[in-house]
Amino acid sequence: MIWEFWSANAPALLLAIPMLGAFATPLIGRMGKTPRNLWILLITALTFVTSAVLAVEVYTTGPVIYTFGAAASSAALVSDSGGIPVRIIFNVDAMSAFMALFASFVGMVAAVFSFPSGKMESGRDGYFALLLLLLVGILGMVCTGDLFNFFVFLEINSLAGAALVAYRIDKGVAVEAALKYAFLSTLAGLLVLYAVALLYGQYDSLNIAVIAERMQFGFLDKVALALLLTGLAMKAGAVPMHFWTPDTYSMAPSAITAFLVVASQASLYGVFRVAFTLYGLTLNYVTIGWFIIILGVLSMFVGVSMAIPQKDVKRLMAYHAVSQTGYMLLGVGVGLAVLGDPVMLESFGLTAMEGGIFHIVNHAMYKGLLFLTAGAIFYQTGTRNLNKLGGLGHSMKWTMLFFVIGALAIAGIPPFNGFASKLMIYESVFAFNPLLSIIAMVVSILTLASFVKVFHAIFMGPRQERYAEVKEVPVPMLAAMGILALLTVLMGIFPQQIVDLVISPAAGALVDQGSYIASVMGGL
C-alpha cells in the first residue's frame, strides 16, 4: 500500500520529503545534536531512495509524467482543456532521472560530512535546513517540465546556495563571496525569467513540450535563447562568466562546495535542456553547437591556467572545476553541432554526448571528493594555504589516500572514472575536429601537473612541528570521503556497464526531442 503510493507519487515526494525535512530541522534541532543528525540522515537517505525508485521506473518503462493537482497524475492532458496541458507538469525522462539520482546522492554525502562540526561553529540547524533546501532546488530544476517552475527552483537553488556560502561569517570574506554569488545568481534568474516571458507571450504556454512543439525560431525566440543561455551559463560557471566560482567555492564550507558543484551542474542541465529539448532542430544547431564548444574550450584552458599559480588549495580546486566544466560543454556541444546529421551523430556525436554526460557524474564524484579532502585538511589544520601546509602524510593517511584517488581521477589517469569519460570525449571529438581533442589532452596534462604540486605541498616532506597534534578526521568525514572514493574507483573499473545502463539512455533522451513532446502531448 505505502509502497504503491510511494512509487506512484515519486516525483512529488522527491521534492516534498527534503522540503518537509528542511522546515522541520530547526524544531528537531532543539532536541539535541544526535537526533538532528539522525533526522538529516533519514531525510537525505529517503530522498535518495525515492530518486532511485523514480530512476528505476524511468529506465525500465520510459519517461514519467507527473501532473500536479490532476485526478490522475500520469495524464498530462484533460479532455476539456483543448489539447493544452494546463497544470504544472513534472516530466522526468532518463536525463532528469540520472541528474536527480546523483544529486540526491551527493546531497546525502555532503550532509554526512557536515555532521562533525568545528569548535567555533554555531547555527548548525539552519545550515542543515538550507542544505536540504538547496537539494530541493536542484531536484526541482532537473525534474520540472515547466519553464516558470524551473525559474522558481533556480531561485531556491540560488538563495539557499548563497546563504550557505556565507555560513562562515566571522571575517566577512565569506559574506563577500556570498554577495557576489547571490547578486550574479539573481541577475541570471531575471534574465531567465525575461526569456520565459518572451516565450510565454508568443506561445501561450509555459510547458517545455508545448513550446518545443510550436517553436518557430523567430527573432524573439532568438533573443530568448540568448538570454536563457547567458543566464544559465553564468550560473554554471563557464568562462567568461566564471569570475564568481573561485571566490564562492573557496569560501564556502567544504561539504557545501562539493554540493555547489552539483548545483552548478543543474544549471548546465538547464543549458542542455534548452538547447536540445526546447529548441532542438529548429535552432541553428551548428552555430549554437560551436558556441558551446568554444565556451567549453575557453573554460578548459582559462580554468587550468588560472589554477596553476594558486596558493589557496580550495581556490585552486575551484579553477579546476571551471576547467572540468569545459569538458562537459565540449562533449555535449559536439553532439549539438552534428545534431542534424544522422550519420555523424551516430558515428561520434552520441559518443561525445555520452562522454560529456558521463563526465558530469564523474566530476561530481571526484571533485566532491577533492573538496571534501580539502575540508578535512582545513578542519584539522585551520589553513588552506599551500605554503603553510606540509608533511601531513604522516598523520592523515586516509585523507592522503582519498586525495590521491581524486587527483588521479581528475587528471584522467586509468583506472579511475575521469579517464573513462575523458577517453570517450577524446576519441569522439578527435573524429569531429582533431585540434579540439588535442587541447583537451593538453589541459589534462596541466591538471595532472597542478595536482602533483598540491600533493607534494600538502602531504610530502618531514613532519612539521606546528602540526604535531594533527590527527585523522572523525569517522563520518572519513565515511563520506570513502564512499565517494569507492565510487570513483568502481566507475572507473566498470565504465562500459554504467554507460550502457544509465548514460546512453540519458544522451538518447536529450537528442530525442520528439518523444519528450509526445510524452506530454501524446496521450489524451
Partner 1 sequence: MFGDIPFIAAGILIVIGIVTIVTRHNLIKMVMGLAVVEAGVNLMLVATGYRDGGVAPIFTNAPSTDMVLPTVQAMTLTNIVIGIATTALLLSFVMIIYRKYGSADVRDMRRLKG
**Four-point Cα dihedral 348, 350, 355, 358, nearest 10:** -170
Compute the least distance from the CB of residue 211 to partner 1, in Å.
Answer: 14
State the CB neighbour count (10 A cutoff) for residue 496. Answer: 9
Q: By CB under 8 A, what part of segment 335-394 binds partner 1?
A: none
Decide if residue 121 touches partner 1 (CB under 8 A).
Answer: no
Closest Cα to residue 14, out of 85, 77, 76, 99?
99
Write out the DSSP string of 257-276.
HHHHHHHHHHHHHHHHIIII
Cα-flanking dihedrals φ and ψ of residue 416, to 5°? Answer: -90, 165
Cα-flanking dihedrals φ and ψ of residue 89, to 5°? Answer: -120, 135
50/257 with CB nearer partner 1: 257
Decide if residue 193 touches partner 1 (CB under 8 A).
Answer: yes
Among 166, 212, 334, 510, binds partner 1 (CB under 8 A): 166
Site stretch for partner 1 (CB under 8 A), options 10-18, 60-68, 185-193, 331-339:
185-193
Sign for the CA dihedral angle at 359, 355, 195, 238 comes to positive
Q: What is the 3-state secondary structure (H, E, C) of 109-147?
A: HHHHHCCCCCCCCCCHHHHHHHHHHHHHHHHHHHHECEH
Decide if residue 194 touches partner 1 (CB under 8 A).
Answer: yes
What's the Cα-to-Cα distance from 107 to each of 12, 44, 309, 396, 438, rounded to whole Å? 18, 7, 31, 25, 35
CA distance 489 to 492: 5
Q: By CB under 8 A, what part of segment 285-344 binds partner 1?
A: 309-312, 315
Closest Cα to residue 377, out of 364, 396, 391, 405?
396
Compute the least distance from the CB of residue 192 to partner 1, in Å.
Answer: 10
Site string for partner 1, 61-80 (x = CB under 8 A): --------------------
Q: Grid coordinates representing 204?
A: 501561450
Angle at 465 between CA 459 and CA 470, to 5 degrees: 60
Beta-carbon contacts of 512 under 8 Å, excluding residues fewer than 6 positions away, are none
CA distance 338 to 80: 40
243/290 with CB nearer partner 1: 243
Decide if residue 203 touches partner 1 (CB under 8 A).
Answer: no
CA distance 237 to 319: 10
Decide if residue 483 touches partner 1 (CB under 8 A).
Answer: no
Decide if residue 46 touches partner 1 (CB under 8 A).
Answer: no
Helix (H, G, I), strand (E, B) or coil at 282: helix
CA distance 457 to 438: 29
Among 46, 65, 143, 178, binds partner 1 (CB under 8 A): 178
Site stretch for partner 1 (CB under 8 A), options 67-75, 199-207, 394-402, 503-511:
199-207
Decide if residue 84 touches partner 1 (CB under 8 A).
Answer: no
136/511 with CB nearer partner 1: 136
Compute the least distance from the CB of residue 318 to partner 1, in Å.
Answer: 10
208/499 with CB nearer partner 1: 208
Compute the least distance from the CB of residue 138 to partner 1, in Å.
Answer: 17
Q: Grid coordinates representing 448?
A: 595532472
Number of residues that bind partner 1 (CB under 8 A): 38
Site stretch for partner 1 (CB under 8 A), options 122-130, 181-189, 401-409, 502-510:
181-189
Decide if residue 173 touches partner 1 (CB under 8 A).
Answer: yes
171/471 with CB nearer partner 1: 171
Decide if residue 176 touches partner 1 (CB under 8 A).
Answer: yes
Beta bridge partners of 89: 67
Beta bridge partners of 67: 89
54/159 with CB nearer partner 1: 159
Decide if residue 404 touches partner 1 (CB under 8 A).
Answer: no
Site stretch for partner 1 (CB under 8 A), options 243-251, 340-348, 378-386, 394-402:
243-251
Decide if residue 468 touches partner 1 (CB under 8 A).
Answer: no
Site stretch for partner 1 (CB under 8 A), options 67-75, 171-179, 323-331, 474-482:
171-179
Q: Grid coordinates representing 249?
A: 567555492
Decide if residue 264 touches partner 1 (CB under 8 A).
Answer: no
Beta bridge partners of 57: none
Contact footprint for partner 1 (CB under 8 A): 148, 152, 155, 158-159, 162-163, 166, 169, 171-173, 175-179, 182-183, 186-187, 189-190, 193-194, 197, 200-201, 206, 246-247, 250-251, 309-312, 315
